[in-house]
Structure 1
Amino acid sequence: MSVGSGSTGSLLELDRLSVRFLLGRRGEVRAVTDASLRLERGRVLALVGESGCGKSVLASALLGLLPANAQVRGRAVTGDVELLSAPEQVLAERVRGRRIGLVPQSAGTHLTPVRTARSQLVEAIRALGSGAGPDELAERVGLRPDELDHYPHELSGGMAQRVAIALALAGDPPVLLADEPTTGLDRPLVHRTVDLLAETAADDRAVLLITHDLTAAKRVATDVAVMYASRIVEAGPAEEVFADPWHPYTAGLLGALPEGGFEPIPGHPPALTELDRLEREWGCVFCQRCPSGSCTGDPELRAHGDRWVAAHPPC
């Protein structure tokens, strides 16, 4: 994974993707700012950060699922489709389910309650023209074929999540976008879910794992991008970033884990309506929470080999 543009062979490429929500006279919400990422075949890119930082908005932008008051800039390309400018018909007929499969949060609530998992999976296969049958997809995600004959309320949380992954795979998309797929699951089910996503990446796909669960990200990610207050502040190979974080926000997230000492980051993330003002006054919007006091006031990412960091490069 690298941040920027100009890759060859990437399955999904974002170049300075920005999303703002217009609020009339009340101003605007700066939800995503200049996000640049590449998803490569066979890899799991974890996009991590506190809730409300803009991760899920980024996912919705890629699939054309933003509300009417959203303003989107930048580029996002998969294959020969520019996602941000593509009309709804192109997204519906060529992208959703076929180029990009979505694994949603709280899978059980996204399943139709009055239909069995099998009937919903058969419908998805028929709509997407997949060559795989429902039993084959069930086995691929670790379900017995007979478990597809259950209604959503008869499925455990883990089983519902596996059905959701099977639905995301029904059109055989090269990219899986998993938006907080472990919400509400206990730790063993979290492990099984992310392990299954990693297995799909190993099957010549790319996975974008959006999560605030750093333990899950550390378990399966090959690459990581850390998001704070709408911006990516650090990115690089997951093993390197987690072992030696360069940005104090990344270090703070790791320090809040049990193995990191349960030391929370002081303060709170800024309101997304205040980011323009804070950047004018402070430069980097993390400065008010930064324990080092060494902020350069520059929010732009800078490359250091195959790693990227904003405002706090190593020295």
Structure 2
Amino acid sequence: MRGAREIAAVTDATFRLHRGECLALIGESGCGKSVLASALLGLLPGNARTEGHAWLSGGRAGDERLGGGRAGEERPDGGRADRGGDRLDLLAADERTLARTVRGRRIGLVPQSPAAHLTPVRTVRSQLRETLRELTGRRDGEEAAAARAAFPADHLDRHPHQLSGGLAQRAATALALVGDAPLLLADEPTTGLDRALVDRTVDELRAQVDRGHTLLMITHDLAAAERIADRVAVMYAGRIVELADAEAFFGDPGPRHPYARGLLDALPERAFTPIPGMPPELGDLPAGCAFAPRCPRAADACAAVPPLTDGVACHHPRSDRA
């Protein structure tokens, strides 16, 4: 909500995240990616409203899954969003449940700004110790917790302001891993890092996936997404417009949605051709397909919002040859 006006920051976001994989949610800044992350963790502002479901399944390390949809509804992948087993609807959970059983324990957050996430007046060791005690009941183990995120033990007694950007990111990642949460949510974890630190951070997160964790990585860094992801979800103006296997998306045949194709073509190592125009304001979306005003393929059919069908929300998606 903004004043008396309601703004749909995220609409019809439907995807399923399987255990032991990384899904990269990509798109330009302001498209709704971080709003989605905040909704999953119950961290939206008080005047925000959510609808639908975000089912969190499992509960053991390596056995967590995240899926959207309506209760009891068949999904395109054949799953059912029912209330069986130990599934939890994150969007319906109260603050007590989220604080005591979800955050840190079932979902670990790797934040966008580790400097803001870390307590500035306490050492990394003391923050790890407190988190270990809270989530696991242990009163030691800081060195082992730091090692999981490749944080050097000889920096544990430093304060956050004494760390480089890369080390601060590793400290925040170490805190996210303390509870051995099966699902990790990384919200723009490489912002402000140079390319070498981006690659190192991404590789460390990928190592967690390879150890059995599940990762939802929200990023506008396509190189980082290509390096880490098993699948890619592309968001534009609050909607997911393409879901694809990462290898096919970044390689052959490439993206099928014109916007997703434009994102890759804008990269310096590719065509270096910018997408014309600007993304719309979420509070002033055009009728029909939100990308139509910028799209070279726009036609009369684009006056209607295209559904996400076979992994792409477009009335005229690109074929393997177009």
SS across alignment from 1:74: coil
Residue 95 of structure 2 corresponds to residue 88 of structure 1: yes
The one-letter amino acid of 1:288's match is: P
C-alpha displacement of 1:67: 0.7
| Matches of 1:308 and 1:261, distance apart in 2 | 23
Q: Of 216, 220, 243, which aligns to 2:224?
A: 216
Instruction: State the partner residue of 2:150.
Output: 142
Describe the shift of the 1:239–1:23 C-alpha distance in structure 2 as closer, same or farther (beyond 3 A).
same
SS across alignment from 1:149: coil
Instruction: State the partner residue of 2:55.
Output: 77
Q: Of 45, 70, 73, which aligns to 2:23?
A: 45
Contact conserved, 2:151 with 2:174, CA < 8 A, in 1? no
| Matches of 2:205 and 2:53, distance apart in 1 | 26
C-alpha displacement of 1:314: 3.7
Deviations 1:274-303 (A, max 9, x none): 12xx12xxx211000002235732321001
Residue 274 of structure 2 corresponds to residue 296 of structure 1: no
Name whichever structure is richer in helix by fraction. Answer: 1
Name whichever structure is richer in strand by fraction. Answer: 1
Contact conserved, 2:25 with 2:218, CA < 8 A, in 1? yes
The TM-score with structure 1 as length reference comes to: 0.87
Give the CA RMSD over aligned residues: 1.5
Instruction: State the partner residue of 2:290.
Output: 285
Map residues 1-315 of structure 1 onto 2, 5 A cutoff. Answer: 22-25=1-4, 27-79=5-57, 80-129=87-136, 133-243=141-251, 244-275=254-285, 278-279=286-287, 283-294=288-299, 296-297=301-302, 298-303=305-310, 307-315=311-319
| Matches of 1:24 and 1:116, distance apart in 2 | 41
In the alignment of these two chains, the number of paired residues is 285
C-alpha displacement of 1:134: 1.4
Moved more, 291-300 or 167-176: 291-300
The one-letter amino acid of 1:312's match is: H
The one-letter amino acid of 2:269's match is: E
| Matches of 1:177 and 1:41, distance apart in 2 | 13
| Matches of 2:22 and 2:300, distance apart in 1 | 30
| Matches of 1:199 and 1:310, distance apart in 2 | 35
SS across alignment from 1:310: coil
SS across alignment from 2:49: strand
Contact conserved, 2:114 with 2:172, CA < 8 A, in 1? yes
Moved more, 178-187 or 79-88: 79-88
SS across alignment from 1:32: coil
Which consecutive unaligned segments of at least 5 residues does structure 1 have? 1-21
Which consecutive unaligned segments of at least 5 residues does structure 2 have? 58-86
| Matches of 2:10 and 2:246, distance apart in 1 | 22
SS across alignment from 1:102: strand
Contact conserved, 2:110 with 2:184, CA < 8 A, in 1? yes
The TM-score with structure 2 as length reference comes to: 0.85
| Matches of 2:109 and 2:316, distance apart in 1 | 34
Contact conserved, 2:276 with 2:294, CA < 8 A, in 1? yes
| Matches of 2:262 and 2:154, distance apart in 1 | 45
C-alpha displacement of 1:142: 1.1
Moved more, 201-210 or 125-134: 125-134
The one-letter amino acid of 2:199's match is: H
Contact conserved, 1:130 with 1:170, CA < 8 A, in 2? no
C-alpha displacement of 1:144: 2.1
Contact conserved, 1:246 with 1:312, CA < 8 A, in 2? no
% same residue? 58
The one-letter amino acid of 1:36's match is: T
Describe the shift of the 1:311–1:128 C-alpha distance in structure 2 as closer, same or farther (beyond 3 A).
farther
The one-letter amino acid of 1:287's match is: A
| Matches of 1:314 and 1:264, distance apart in 2 | 18
C-alpha displacement of 1:139: 1.2
